[in-house]
Amino acid sequence: MATQAAESEGVGNPIPATEIPASGGPAGEQGGNEDHEQQQQQQQEEEQQEEEQQNITTTTYGSVVVNRPTPNADPSHLRQQEMASQFPNVPMDWAHLGQPAPDVPPVRYPHDVADIREDDLEVVVVGTAGEKITHLNDDFSSKCNADLEELVLRSHVIQKMQGLEKFKKLRLLEMYDNQVEALCSLDHLAETLRTLDMSYNVIRDMAPVACCENLTELYIANNKLKKIEGIRMLKSLRKIDLGANRIRVMDGEELSGLVNLEELWIGKNKIESIQGLEKLTKLRRLDVQSNRLTKIENLETQLETLEEIYLSHNGIDDEGALQATGLALKFPNLSVVDLSRNRLTTCQPFAHLKSLEELWISGNQIKTFDDVEALKQPASGGSSLAVKLETVYLEYNPVAKEFEYRKKLAEWVPSLSQIDATRIRPFGAQVVGAATSVGTPGASGTILMGAAPTADYMRKLQEAAVQRAKKESAAAESKQSSS
């Protein structure tokens, strides 16, 4: 016993306090085990509470305190340790998010950029999911040929035009669908640049384009422009798209210098009046749709070249449209007119457009056939000179609900090949005489088909054949019964 006591008190093999029995008997051993288990259980509960508390984010809304689990509250530190061992130079903590690590390139480029060769004269890098250029720098320009002629960086998240000074021979620069906030100086491209596309960005000032006197195509649609500026001296410009901005005025002073302009797209702005077209003697297409127009005005100049005019989704009424009376004289080559979604009640303004091929007036307030009668062609007893008219869109007007309205319209305008989205005869089909119903056998007009017959035409032929067979069968039965 003395030896055991001495060994128990020795420092070489101490006995933990939790393992010393409370008494020498079995009851003492049982009580000691229970105390030990309770202490372990209590310790585990405290550790669990601390762990849960770390995974709870407390947010105060006024006097209300809300506890919610932190996103990704699982033991992510284990993954971080694993990643840290594989990528020792990459920071893993949120505090360094967005800050470049010492030995890691600050910009990640899509694989397309890595494939650029120094002798390439055209570079096209289209952003894909997860592979977008964030910004340009000398690292990017160093990958490209200094004599680069075409650079396309579409659908990325670039905010600044920088690192482009090296490219002095660019003919085409496209940064469509980025987040560019401002145009950089384009002086180094003043002589070479021909096409500039900066659509779908957040640009507020277009003045820097003024130096590019050889520019032929300019696209700055879907930005935040409030006025037209910087284009007065661009005498070589042939196409310009300023749609979907915040422009309120068609600045005649700026537009007057575009003497070679062929296409002007300025739809979806806040324009209240058409103006500034006096000097645009080569204009072929004019788009001012989705604005705030109430009348067609300031078209006194004879624009013999104008072929297409798009004025849909405005507030133009009959009086406003009739102010354009004389369109046939001013625009003898006008072939496409779109006045859909306005406030028209008659087709009178379009009656004498002898070159008109397509007329879009759907979604107006044209109620009866009397309001459409202005389109009657001479062969049908009318006086309209629109003898080339092939397509008419009248859907979503009250008159479109009239019984057989397409049939009657086809009788009035024999040159038509399409009414709304319905093809009534092949395009280019020649109509001799006044066709009373489209392709119906026995009609006074004969359709000389220049293409494959339409489904409607074949259906009518089928119906006629069935009727003829019924008549012949009835005649045969009558003859047999009489004999």
Least confident of 181-185, 296-300, 447-451: 447-451
pLDDT digits (tens, 9 = 90+) for 236-258: 999 999 999 999 999 999 999 99
- According to DSSP, the residues that pair with 60 across neighbouring strands are 65
Phi-psi region of 313 (alpha: psi -120 to 50; beta: other; left: phi over 0): left
Residues 424 and 456: beta-carbon distance below 8 Å: yes
Q: Among 74-88, 99-113, 169-183, 316-330, which range has the highest average pLDDT?
A: 169-183
Mean of the pLDDT values across residues 203-228?
A: 97
**Which is more confidently placed, 358 or 351?**
358
Residues 6+ apart with CB under 8 A from 374: 346, 347, 348, 350, 351, 382, 384
Distance CA 80, CA 345 (A): 70
Residues 158 and 136: beta-carbon distance below 8 Å: yes
User: Tokens for 285?
Assistant: 């297409």
Q: Which residue in 335, 430, 426, 338 sits closest to 386, CA to CA?
A: 335
Chain length of the chain: 483
Residues 76 and 70: beta-carbon distance below 8 Å: no
Q: How confident is the model at residue 83 (pLDDT cuts 50, 70, 90)?
A: low
pTM over 0.95: no
Question: Per-residue pLDDT for 272 more than 90?
Answer: yes
Number of neighbouring beta carbons within 10 Å of residue 200? 20
Residue 470's pLDDT is 84
Instruction: Give the chain's end-to-end CA distance (angstroms, integer).
Output: 146
Number of neighbouring beta carbons within 10 Å of residue 108? 12
Residue 462's pLDDT is 77
**Which is more confidently placed, 33 or 173?**
173
Question: Per-residue pLDDT for 284 more than 80?
Answer: yes
Q: How confident is the model at residue 348 (pLDDT cuts 50, 70, 90)?
A: confident
Q: How confident is the model at residue 436 (pLDDT cuts 50, 70, 90)?
A: very low
**Which is more confidently placed, 379 or 205?**
205
pLDDT digits (tens, 9 = 90+) for 134-167: 888 777 777 788 889 999 999 999 999 988 888 9
Residue 88's pLDDT is 54
pLDDT digits (tens, 9 = 90+) for 392-434: 999 999 999 998 899 999 999 999 999 999 998 765 554 444 3
Mean of the pLDDT values across residues 75-85?
A: 50
Q: Which residue in 202, 200, 195, 247 sits closest to 221, CA to CA?
A: 200
Residue 137's pLDDT is 77
Number of neighbouring beta carbons within 10 Å of residue 280? 21
**Average pLDDT along the chain:** 77
Residues 6+ apart with CB under 8 A from 410: 416, 419, 424, 435, 437, 438
Distance CA 450, CA 426 (A): 7
Residue 300's pLDDT is 64
Give me the domains of the chain, ranges plus CATH numbers.
103-180 (no CATH), 201-292 (3.80.10.10), 293-424 (3.80.10.10)
Q: How confident is the model at residue 264 (pLDDT cuts 50, 70, 90)?
A: very high
Q: Which residue in 319, 309, 302, 424 sits closest to 360, CA to CA?
A: 309
pLDDT digits (tens, 9 = 90+) for 318-337: 888 876 656 666 788 899 99
pLDDT digits (tens, 9 = 90+) for 8-55: 444 444 444 444 444 444 445 555 566 767 777 777 777 776 655 555
Q: How confident is the model at residue 365 (pLDDT cuts 50, 70, 90)?
A: very high
CA–centroid distance for 211 within its chain: 29
User: Tokens for 356?
Assistant: 């008109």
Residue 194's pLDDT is 97
